[in-house]
Amino acid sequence: MICGRSDGYARAADDKKWMLNNEYGDGMRTMGQLFDRAASVRDKLGLASCAISAALIAPSLWAADMPGGPKVNQLDLPKGVTKIAADQHWMNWFLMAVCLVIFIAVFAVMFYSVWAHRKSKGHKPADFHESTAVEIAWTVVPFLIVVGIGIPATKMVVEQKDTSGADLTVKITGYQWKWGYDYVKGEGEGIGFLSTLSTPESQITGKDPKGLTYLMEVDNPLVVPVGKKVRVVLTANDVIHSWTVPAFGVKQDAIPGFVRDTWFKAEKEGVYRGACVELCGKNHAFMPVVVEVKSAEEYSKWVDARKKEMAAKADDPNKEWQLAELQSRGEKVYGANCAACHQAGGTGAGQFPALIKAASVVGPSADQIKILLNGKGAGMPAWKQLSDVEIAAVITYTRNAWGNKADEGLVQPKAIAEARK
Partner 1 sequence: MSAVLDNHGHDSHDHAHDHPHGLRRWLFATNHKDIGTLYLWFSFVMLLSGGILALTLRAELFQPGIQIVQPEFFNQLTTMHGLIMVFGAVMPAFVGFANWQIPLMIGASDMAFARMNNFSFWLLPPAALLLVGSFFVPGGATAAGWTLYAPLSVQMGPGMDLAIFAVHIMGASSIMGSINIITTILNMRAPGMTLMKMPMFVWTWLITAYLLIAVMPVLAGAITMLLTDRHFGTSFFNAAGGGDPVMYQHIFWFFGHPEVYIMILPAFGIVSEIIPAFSRKRLFGYSSMVYATASIAILSFIVWAHHMFTTGMPVTGQLFFMYATMLIAVPTGVKIFNWVATMWKGAMTFETPMLFAIGFIFVFTMGGLTGIILSVAPLDIQLHDTYYVVAHFHYVLVAGSLFALFAGTYYWLPKWTGHYYDEGLGKFHFWASLITFNVTFFPMHFLGLAGMPRRYIDYPTQFTDFNALATVGAFGFGLSQLIFLYVVLKCIRGGEKAPDKVWEGAEGLEWTVPSPAPFHTFEQPPTFK
| Nearer residue to partner 1 within complex by CB, 122 or 403 | 122
Q: Given the rule CB under 8 A, which of 64-72, 222-230, 296-304, 331-339 is the region that contacts partner 1?
A: 64-72
d(CA 162, CA 231): 10
Q: Given the rule CB under 8 A, which of 140-148, 165-173, 318-326, 359-367 is the region that contacts partner 1?
A: 140-148
How many CB atoms neighbour CB 217 within 10 A?
18
250 binds partner 1 (CB under 8 A): yes
1 binds partner 1 (CB under 8 A): no
- Of residues 108 through 137, those in contact with partner 1 by CB under 8 A are 109-110, 113-114, 117-120, 123-131, 134-135
- Count CA atoms closer than 13 A to 119's CA, side-chain side: 0
Q: How far is the CB of 134 from partner 1 (least distance, A)?
A: 7
158 binds partner 1 (CB under 8 A): yes
Position among 43, 167, 261, 269 found at the interface with partner 1 (CB under 8 A)? 261
Q: How far is the CB of 353 from partner 1 (least distance, A)?
A: 12
- Of residues 72 through 111, those in contact with partner 1 by CB under 8 A are 72-78, 84-85, 87-88, 91-92, 95-96, 99, 102-103, 106-107, 109-110
Q: How far is the CB of 347 from partner 1 (least distance, A)?
A: 15
Q: Which of 230, 196, 247 is nearest to 66 (CA)?
A: 247
| Nearer residue to partner 1 within complex by CB, 126 or 312 | 126
| Nearer residue to partner 1 within complex by CB, 105 or 314 | 105
For residue 354, give the DSSP letter. P
338 binds partner 1 (CB under 8 A): no
Q: Per residue, what are the HEC states of 283-344?
A: CHHHCCEEEEEECHHHHHHHHHHHHHHHHHHCCCCCCCCCHHHHHHHHHHHHHHHCHHHHCC
Strand partners, 193: 181
Q: What angle do CA 389, 394, 396 make, to 5 degrees?
A: 95
Helix 132-161 to helix 83-116 angle (10° resolution) is: 160
d(CA 1, CA 177): 42
Q: How far is the CB of 109 from partner 1 (least distance, A)?
A: 6
Position among 3, 50, 54, 57 found at the interface with partner 1 (CB under 8 A)? 57
- Of residues 363 through 382, those in contact with partner 1 by CB under 8 A are 378-379
- The residue type at 260: R
User: For residue 100, how far is the Cα from the chain centroid?
Assistant: 32
Position among 198, 203, 300, 360 found at the interface with partner 1 (CB under 8 A)? 203
